[in-house]
């Protein structure tokens, strides 16, 4: 379990690093990098991991998710990152937190 958690944290750090290095532009989209990346990792990682069934995200996770540019983050998800996170759970957490993934948005393999 600790190994999976560490791998998930690494995957989320990779996404955060790409956002920061990209100068807030990915695939022609403007990204909101005003989210606290460590909050995104610590508050949401257990809700998007591969293990276990979907679980309602915490209030703290939702606060961070609501600030995120979800379509931009979706555009950064690679197959390598999908080895550590469940895209179905990402969609579930996003919806549970009151954010919508716009129709037609490619979010990883979804």
Domains of the chain, earliest start first? 2-96 (1.10.110)
Convert the pLDDT of each residue in 54-76 to its tens digit.
999 999 999 999 988 888 888 88
Convert the pLDDT of each residue in 40-59 to its tens digit.
788 999 999 999 999 999 99
> What b/e string do you get for 47-83 counting C-beta neighbours within 10 Å, with b at 16 or more?
bbbeeeeeeebeeebbebbeebbbbbbbbbbeeebbe
pLDDT at residue number 27:
41
For residue 95, what pLDDT band results from cuts at 50, 70 and 90? Answer: very high
Strand partners, 29: 26
- The pLDDT mean for the chain works out to 76
Report pTM: 0.71
């Amino acid at each position: 379990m600790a190994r999976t958690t560490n791998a998930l944290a690494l995957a989320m750090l990779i996404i955060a690093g790409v956002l920061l290095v990209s100068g807030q532009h990915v695939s022609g989209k403007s990204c909101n990098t005003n989210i606290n990346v460590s909050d995104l990792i610590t508050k949401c990682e257990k809700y998007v991991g591969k293990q276990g069934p979907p679980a309602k995200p915490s209030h703290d996770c939702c606060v961070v998710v609501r600030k995120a540019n979800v379509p931009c983050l979706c555009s950064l998800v690679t197959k390598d990152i999908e080895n550590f996170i469940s895209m179905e759970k990402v969609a579930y957490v996003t919806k549970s937190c009151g954010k919508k993934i716009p129709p037609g948005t490619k979010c990883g393999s979804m």
